[in-house]
Amino acid sequence: MATSTSAQTGNIDNLSTASKGLSLNRFDSPWLNPKFVAGCILLLIVLLMSLLGPLVYDTTKARVASSPLNLPPMWMEGGSPAHPFGTESNGRDMLAVIITGAPRSLQVGIIAAVIGMSVGVVLGSLAGYMGGWVDGVIRTLSDAIITIPALAVLIVIAAYVKNFELNTMAFILALFAWPAPTRLVRAQVLSLRERGYVRMARLSGVPPLEIMLKEMAPNMLPWLAASLSGNISGAILASASLEALGLGPTRIPTLGMTIYYAIKAAAIIRGMWWWWGFPILTLVIIFVGLFLVATGLDEIANPRLRGASSS
C-alpha cells in the first residue's frame, strides 16, 4: 500500500506519542532489547573469563617454555587435561594466553576509544553548536586526518617505537580514533540544535554549554553509547592488526601477537590450528558482542529501526 500513514494518522494520542521516535524513550529500557542483552552476555563471558580465570587456572603457563611444546587441545589425540587448549611451539599454554591476552585487547580498545570519543564529543559539539570559523577549523582538521591511511602511519610509528607498552599503543591509536566521532557528533548536534526543546532553551536564555550538557547530551546518550561500542571494536581490530604484523608489545602475551607468532612458526601448514584458532575465536566473540550491543543501543536510540512493531 502507499504509505506508512496507518501508524501516523489519527492514533490514540497517548499511544502514538508514547512511542514517538525521540532519542531516549524513558520507557524503553536497554535490557528489554534482545540484541543488547545478547551482546552484553558475550562480553560478560569474556570479562568473567579474564577476571576469574587467573583464580582457577595457573596463568604462569602463559610464559615461554612453561609447558610442553606443541600439545594439541585436550579432546584430541595427544592432548592433556593440564593444557585444555593445547600449547604452542614456544611452550606457552593456550588457555593461559587467552585468559591473559583477552583483557589486554579489551583494555587497548577501551582506552583508545574512550580518548577518541571524548575528544570527538568535545570538538564535535563545539563545531556543531558554534558554527562559523570554529566549525570550519575543526571540520577541516578532522576531514584531513580521516583521509590519512591510519594503518600505514601506525605501522611506521610502531616500527620506530621499539618495545612499547600497551598504553602507548592505545594513545597512538587514539590519534586516529577521534576524527570519525567528531564528524558524527557534529552532525548530531547540528540536527538537535533545531529541535523544539533546544530552541525553547535558547529562548529561555540558557547558555550554550548548559544547553549542550543538559538538553542535548541526555538525548544523545544511547547513540553515543552505540558509537562507543563501534569505536572500541575498531580500536581492537587496529591493535590486533598491528600486533599480527609483529608490531605489538613483545613482553606480554596479547591475542594479536600470538597470531603473529603462529604465522611466523608456520602453524597453518603444521596443522596447529589451536595456536591461531583460539585467539581469533576470542576476538570474534568480542567483536560480535560489541556489535550486538551497538546495534541494540542503536535500536533504542532510533526506534524506527525496530520495525513495524513500533509507533
Partner 1 sequence: MEDTPAVPLIEIRNATKIYGGGFLQSAPPIVALDNFNLTIHDKPATITTIAGESGSGKTTLANAVLGFLNLTSGQILYKGKDITTLNYEESMVFRREVQAVFQDPYEVYNPFYRVRHIFDMVVKRFKLARNKAEEREVIEDALRVVGMRGEEVLEKYPHQLSGGQRQRVMVARAYLLKPRLIVADEPVSAVDASLRAMILDVMLRLRDESHISFLYITHDLSTAYQIGNDIYVLYQGGIAECGKTPHVIEEPRHPYVQMLINSIPVPDPSVKWSDLMEIPAEEEARKMDNKGCRFYARCPHRMNRCLEALPPLYTIREGQQAACYLYEDKHAQRQPAAPDLESVNQR
Partner 2 sequence: MTVVNTPVQIGTGRSSVQRDVVLEVNNLRIHYDTPKGDVIAVNGISFQVYRGEIVGLVGESGCGKSTAAMGILNLVQAPGHILSGEVKINGIDLLSLDERQLREKRWREIALIPQGAMNSLNPVMRVSEQIRDAIEAHTGRQPNGKLKKEVLQLLNLVGLPARAYNMYPHELSGGMKQRVCIAMAIALRPPLIIADEPTSALDVVVQRVVSQTILDVKKRLGVSVVMIGHDMGLQAQLVDRLIVMYAGNIVEIAPVQNAFQKPLHPYTQLLIASIPSIKERKPLKVTEGLTHDMRKPPPGCIFQYRCPFVMDVCRTEFPPLLEREPEHFVACHLYNGKEKN
Footprint of partner 1 (CB under 8 A): 13-14, 17-18, 20, 22-26, 195-197, 199-206, 215, 218-219
- Please tell me whether residue 11 binds partner 2 under the rule CB under 8 A: yes
Task: Write the DSSP assignment of 141-199 as a string of letters.
Answer: HHHHHHHS-HHHHHHHHHHHSTT--HHHHHHHHHHHHSHHHHHHHHHHHHHHHTSHHHH
Of 7 and 148, the one with the shorter C-beta distance to partner 2 is 7
5: part of which helix (H) or strand (E)?
helix 5-8
Least distance in angstroms from the C-beta of 299 to partner 1: 17
Least distance in angstroms from the C-beta of 7 to partner 2: 7
70: left (phi over 0), alpha (psi -120 to 50) or beta: left
C-alpha cell at 171: 594513545
- Please tell me whether residue 29 binds partner 2 under the rule CB under 8 A: no
Out of partner 2, partner 1, none, which partner does residue 308 contact, by CB within 5 to 8 A per kind?
A: partner 2
Stretch that binds partner 2, among 1-9, 57-65, 123-131, 255-263 (CB under 8 A): 1-9
- Please tell me whether residue 3 binds partner 2 under the rule CB under 8 A: yes
Least distance in angstroms from the C-beta of 36 to partner 2: 18
Residue 301 identity (one-letter amino acid): A
Stretch that binds partner 2, among 9-17, 87-95, 107-115, 236-244 (CB under 8 A): 9-17
- Please tell me whether residue 6 binds partner 2 under the rule CB under 8 A: yes
Least distance in angstroms from the C-beta of 308 to partner 1: 20
Site for partner 2 in 272-311 (CB under 8 A): 308-309
Least distance in angstroms from the C-beta of 216 to partner 1: 9
| Alpha-carbon span 141 to 240, nearest angstrom | 27
Out of partner 1, partner 2, none, which partner does residue 215 contact, by CB within 5 to 8 A per kind?
A: partner 1
| Residue 123, CA distances (Å) to 22, 120, 142, 227 in order | 24, 5, 9, 16
Query: Pattern of binders to partner 2 over 88-127, x per CB under 8 A?
Result: ----------------------------------------
Of 10 and 132, the one with the shorter C-beta distance to partner 2 is 10
Burial of 52 (0-12, 13-18, 19+ CB in 10 A): exposed
Measured in degrees and rounded to the nearest 5, phi and psi for residue 87 equal: -135, 170
How many chain residues bind partner 2 (CB under 8 A)?
18
- Nearest CA to 196 out of 219, 178, 164 is that of 219
| Residue 81, CA distances (Å) to 42, 87, 100 in order | 25, 12, 19
- Nearest CA to 241 out of 214, 208, 279, 203 is that of 279
- Please tell me whether residue 14 binds partner 2 under the rule CB under 8 A: yes
Least distance in angstroms from the C-beta of 17 to partner 2: 10
| Alpha-carbon span 245 to 259, nearest angstrom | 9
Out of partner 1, partner 2, none, which partner does residue 204 contact, by CB within 5 to 8 A per kind?
A: partner 1
Chain CA centroid to CA 30, Å: 18
| Residue 286, CA distances (Å) to 25, 103, 257, 292 in order | 28, 10, 17, 10
For binding to partner 2 (CB under 8 A), which residues are involved? Answer: 1-3, 5-15, 18, 27, 308-309
